[in-house]
Chain A
Amino acid sequence: MIIDHPLLGPRDAAEFVYKGDASLIHRPDGMTATDDEMHDYVYLRDNPAGEHRELWYHEQGDRSWLVVTRNTLTHEISKVELARDVARAEGRGQ
């Protein structure tokens, strides 16, 4: 798979480490979250067949985190964003 990095252009997916569902960006506040909220966040996944937004960390590259939208049935990548942009747009990491 080739990931079209927003800053570096097309890169081999082997340069990245896969970090799972991009909804993990929304970690509940550990001081206020209930046990159930924390459990669901850490352990449960939608695991869809089809379009999946996921985190890829460019470990062998510029160390950026990306949100890649990829189809889990075909491996086709339709969108690549910087995770920080996504997180900010979704109201995290002020």
Chain B
Amino acid sequence: MRYSAWKIFKEGLTGNKGWTPAWREPEPKAEYDIVIVGGGGHGLSTAYYLAKEFGEKNVAVVEKGWLGSGNIGRNTTIIRSNYLLEGNQPFYEFSLKLWEGLEQDFNYNAMVSQRGILNLIHSDPQRDAFVRRGNAMRLSGADAEILGPAEIRKMCPFLDYDNARFPIQGAIWQPRGGTVRHDAVAWGYARGADARGVDIIQNCEVTGFLMENGTCTGVETAKGTIRAKKVAVCVAGSSSRVMEKAGMRLPIESHVLQAFVSEGLKPVIPGVITFGAGHFYVSQSDKGGLVFGGDIDGYNTYAQRGNLPVVEDVCEGGMAIMPMIGRARLLRMWGGVMDMSMDGSPFIDKTHIEGLYFNGGWCYGGFKATPASGYCYAHLLATDRPHDTAQHYRLDRFRRGAPIDEKGQGAQPNLH
């Protein structure tokens, strides 16, 4: 069924009796060409692009819980392409371009809202670094502007410009950045994949891999064995737990990131704003809640909840740039477990085991990557060659001395 304004109008007049479920609930078949493990944003977009762009007809997505139960439904929904390094920036710009056409492409309202992202500058060296980053962004075809305080004041009169410790000296502004409704991304990709014949199997945990003569030939699941020519793992925060079943150790630690939402307020925050002297980012949802977050808690964890010191730290970051936020009451907070990699960059690669592929290590920035990650993973699965923009996301990059370390902090995953 195609969604359109006309369809809503017609259904409104006929008692909304004609709507059908957005996807089927099939039982798993005995065998598929490709089985994707993990039905988060990346797994579902991989399935969608496999079916739509690469003509793969015999694909299943096997998900432990329900669609949207992982990080795809927990993140703070920011999209941007403001990276510095060659291994990253073309990929994230590719992703932003896919976001821009996504709703038309999969015929689903994902509320892609390019309200812009403002990264504040608080010191001279930071300005130098951001100018360099802006140049790298523009070289990749993305948009970036350096703004001074007068220009920011017009956009955000409420910021604390003359703060004694963290004066606001400028910002790097990416007008094409913004937010997207995260659950709708999962649902839109699921619906689009399902319509093209992909079986989405929920409540079906993968418990092991089928190995024959060193080749991966399927998965063991809660609903029995499913054979596959290729198995594509895409389980975000559970990467180490799942790959361990194939005997692999990964350059990854699992950490929790918390998110916060205030009570609903009248429109006040124009786009996304990030603090440059601490870790704090904020946007306002269409319902009016201020959506914000900051650092990860910083210790290994698989518990989907964080601790109070980070709550305090995040709120202090907010108070440092916009004291007005102290008047808003916190409505909800939650945590999500992410796979933090050793250089803060992800992996989209074949493993050393024939038939087994891995996508993960997205840290706390994988939501914006959802379209490109799926597209590039689908490209790799269908052609056995990496997509141009994802060719640096290899599992052996540390061994080769080629990490993609945006922050220059080395193998300390809790700092990335």
Contact = CB atoms under 8 A, between A and B. Distances in A.
Real binding pair = yes
Interface of A: 1, 12-14, 18, 20-21, 35-36, 39-40, 42-49, 52, 54, 70, 72-75
A91 B300 CA distance: 26
B268 interface: no
Max chain B Cβ within 10 angstroms of own Cβ: one of A36, A70, A72, A73: A72
Contact of B300 (A12, A39, A52): A52
Given A14-B309, A18-B298, A18-B414, A47 B252 contact: yes
Contacts of A40: 249
Contacts of A18: 298-299, 414
Contact of A74 (B250, B303, B342): B303
Chain B interface size, as a band, is 20 to 34
A75 B300 contact: no
Nearest to B399: A39
B92 to A, nearest CB: 23
Given A1-B307, A45-B240, 8 more contacts: A13-B299, A13-B307, A14-B309, A47-B300, A48-B240, A54-B300, A70-B299, A72-B303
Nearest to A45: B253
Interface of B: 240-241, 244, 249-254, 298-303, 307, 309, 342, 398-399, 411-414
Q: Label chain B's interface by main secondary structure.
A: loop
A38 B412 CA distance: 15
Contacts, number: 65
Nearest to A12: B309
Contacts of B309: 12-14
Q: Which 8 A-B pairs give the minimum distances between C-beta atoms?
A: A47-B240, A14-B309, A43-B251, A44-B249, A43-B398, A49-B302, A18-B299, A39-B399
A43 B343 CA distance: 9
A88 to B, nearest CB: 25
Contact of A75 (B241, B244, B253, B303): B303
B411 A73 contact: no
B414 A43 contact: no
Contacts of B244: 46
Nearest to B298: A18
Contacts of A49: 241, 254, 302
A42 B300 contact: no
